[in-house]
Structure 1
Amino acid sequence: MIELDGATGEGGGQVLRTALTLSMITGQPFRIVNIRANRPKPGLMRQHLVAVQAAAGISNADIGSAAVGAQTLQFTPGKIKGGAYQFAIGTAGSCTLVLQTLLPALLYADAPSVVKITGGTHNAMAPPAHFLQRAYGRVLAAMGADLEIELKRFGFYPAGGGEIEAKVSPCRQLQPLELMSRGERVAGYAESFIAGVPADVAKRELACVKTAMGWDDAQLAIRGLPHDQGPGNALLVTLESQHVTEVFCAFGEKMVRSEVVAKKAISQVRQYIASGAAVGEHLADQIMLPLALAGSGRFTVDCVSQHALTNAEVIEQFLPVRITFAEQGLSSVCEIATK
Structure 2
Amino acid sequence: MKHENAKYLRPQHLSGLELVRDICCGNLEGGSVGSTEVTLTPGKIKAGNHTADPQTAGSVGLLLQVSLPCALYADGPSELCLKGGTNADMAPQIDYTIKVFKPIVEKFGVHFNCDLRMRGYYPKGGGEVVAKVSPVSELSPVNMTERGTISKIYGRSFVAGVLPYKLAKDMATTATRVIRREIKDLYINIHTLQEKDMACGSGNGIIIIAESSTGCIFAGSALGKKGVYPDKVGFEAAEMLLRNIRHNGCVDEFLQDQLILFMALANGISRIRTGPVTLHTKTAIHVAEQLTQAKFTVTKADDENASNDTYIIECQGVGVTNPHF
Aligned residue type for 1:265: A
- Residue 218 to residue 264, structure 1, CA distance change in 2 (3 Å): closer
- Aligned residue in 1 for 2:321: none
Q: CA–CA distance in 1 between the matches of 2:237 and 2:13?
A: 27
Q: CA–CA distance in 1 between the matches of 2:127 and 2:276?
A: 30
Aligned residue type for 1:309: K
- Aligned residue in 2 for 1:221: 191
Query: Residue 152 of structure 2 contacts residue 187 of structure 2 at CA under 8 Å; is this kept in 1?
Result: no
SS of 1:63's partner is strand
Q: CA–CA distance in 2 between the matches of 1:317 and 1:100?
A: 19
Q: CA–CA distance in 1 between the matches of 2:276 and 2:131?
A: 29
SS of 1:104's partner is helix
- Aligned residue in 2 for 1:312: 285
Query: Residue 280 of structure 1 contacts residue 303 of structure 1 at CA under 8 Å; is this kept in 2?
Result: no
- Aligned residue in 2 for 1:131: 96
Q: CA–CA distance in 1 between the matches of 2:235 and 2:215?
A: 26
1:298: how far off?
0.9
> Is 1:198 the counterpart of 2:168 in the alignment?
no
> Is 1:303 the counterpart of 2:276 in the alignment?
yes
1:105: how far off?
1.0
Equivalent of 2:208 in 237, 253, 269: 237
Residues paired across the two proteins, number:
304
1:217: how far off?
7.6
Query: Residue 280 of structure 1 contacts residue 302 of structure 1 at CA under 8 Å; is this kept in 2?
Result: yes
Q: TM-score, normalised by structure 1?
A: 0.86
Q: CA–CA distance in 1 between the matches of 2:280 and 2:107?
A: 24
- Aligned residue in 1 for 2:232: 260
Q: CA–CA distance in 2 between the matches of 1:240 and 1:223?
A: 22
The answer for unaligned runs of 5 or more in structure 2 is 302-306, 319-325
- Aligned residue in 1 for 2:323: none
1:159: how far off?
2.1
Query: Residue 218 of structure 2 contacts residue 245 of structure 2 at CA under 8 Å; is this kept in 1?
Result: no
Q: CA–CA distance in 2 between the matches of 1:177 and 1:189?
A: 26
SS of 1:78's partner is coil
Q: CA–CA distance in 1 between the matches of 2:30 and 2:316?
A: 37
The answer for unaligned runs of 5 or more in structure 1 is 1-29
> Is 1:116 the counterpart of 2:77 in the alignment?
no
1:338: how far off?
4.7
1:244: how far off?
2.1
SS of 1:282's partner is coil
- Aligned residue in 2 for 1:331: 310
- Residue 62 to residue 184, structure 1, CA distance change in 2 (3 Å): same
Q: After the TM superposition, which residues 63-212 of structure 1 pair with which residues of structure 2 at under 5 Å, given as runs?
A: 63-196=28-161, 197-212=163-178
Query: Residue 178 of structure 2 contacts residue 239 of structure 2 at CA under 8 Å; is this kept in 1?
Result: no
Q: Which has the larger share of helix?
A: 1
Deviation digits for residues 68-107 of structure 1 (CA, Å, limit 9, x no counterpart): 1211111110100110122211000111101110111111
SS of 1:102's partner is helix
Q: CA–CA distance in 2 between the matches of 1:154 and 1:247?
A: 20
Aligned residue type for 1:92: A
- Aligned residue in 2 for 1:11: none
Q: CA–CA distance in 1 between the matches of 2:98 and 2:47?
A: 21
| Higher mean C-alpha displacement, 103-112 vs 287-296 | 287-296
Q: After the TM superposition, which residues 47-62 of structure 1 pair with which residues of structure 2 at under 5 Å, given as runs?
A: 47-62=12-27
Q: TM-score, normalised by structure 2?
A: 0.89
